[in-house]
Amino acid sequence: DTEVTQTPKHLVMGMTNKKSLKCEQHMGHRAMYWYKQKAKKPPELMFVYSYEKLSINESVPSRFSPECPNSSLLNLHLHALQPEDSALYLCASSQEITYSNQPQHFGDGTRLSIL
Amino acid sequence: GQQVMQIPQYQHVQEGEDFTTYCNSSTTLSNIQWYKQRPGGHPVFLIQLVKSGEVKKQKRLTFQFGEAKKNSSLHITATQTTDVGTYFCAARPRGGANNLFFGTGTRLTVIP
């Protein structure tokens, strides 16, 4: 069982749709992350939030819009996606973003398909 | 940019055989973490290595961090079918924040 919960588990959407991915953790972690993972590839970092503020944006296109409403929740808003955006989207959390050593806890992911 | 390469990309072993995956970085690392991702699953944290030359063991798994802190290895003794999955090293560059760069991964198949 994962301590990071992601919804929905699967999402199929058209290129003109607007949808949101949700992530929740109740471990008291203050850093949260979005990753994108294509089949047979490693996870690629998209965004990092630290204490509810955007800390890192790895040059992600603006059609992906992250939001951190509070310390337990992380959203990823999707709009006008392209077929190549089809992937597994993973949320992760860690205690905090520092220069110390923090293992990351991953959710099960949302498998996104763009038609 | 940061690159972390893993070899081999794929490994098929007979159950009971040993398995090793190697992780190599072009830059000195602050630390290295290892994750396992089962087919259809999500990455699960296994261990973290911090010190130069560090060796850690978890039952049949042995993890090593190179003296120069640029490479690492994971060795599994007497593989079992439950070991199936993709093993990723994940590195944080020296002086970097908590953004991990995942290695390319090694997919392990264990033949019963």
pLDDT digits (tens, 9 = 90+) for B38-71: 999 999 999 999 999 999 999 999 999 999 999 9
Reported confidence tier of residue B97, pLDDT bands at 50, 70, 90: low
Distance CA B76, CA B93 (A): 26
Neighbouring residues of B6: CB distance < 8 A, sequence distance ≥ 6: B21, B22, B23, B24, B87, B88, B89, B103, B104, B105, B106
Q: Which residues of A touch B88 (CB under 8 A)?
A: 42-43
pLDDT digits (tens, 9 = 90+) for A17-33: 899 999 999 999 999 99
pLDDT above 90: residue A44? yes
pLDDT for B93 equals 67
pLDDT above 70: residue A99? no
Contact A101 B97 (CB under 8 A): no
Q: Which residues of B touch A106 (CB under 8 A)?
A: 42-44
**Chain A touched by B39 (CB under 8 Å):** no
Chosen from A100, A101, A105 to mutate, greatest number of chain B CBs within 10 A: A101
pLDDT for B1 equals 53
- Pick the residue from chain A with its C-alpha nearest to B39: A40
Distance CA A93, CA A85 (A): 22
Contact A107 B42 (CB under 8 A): yes
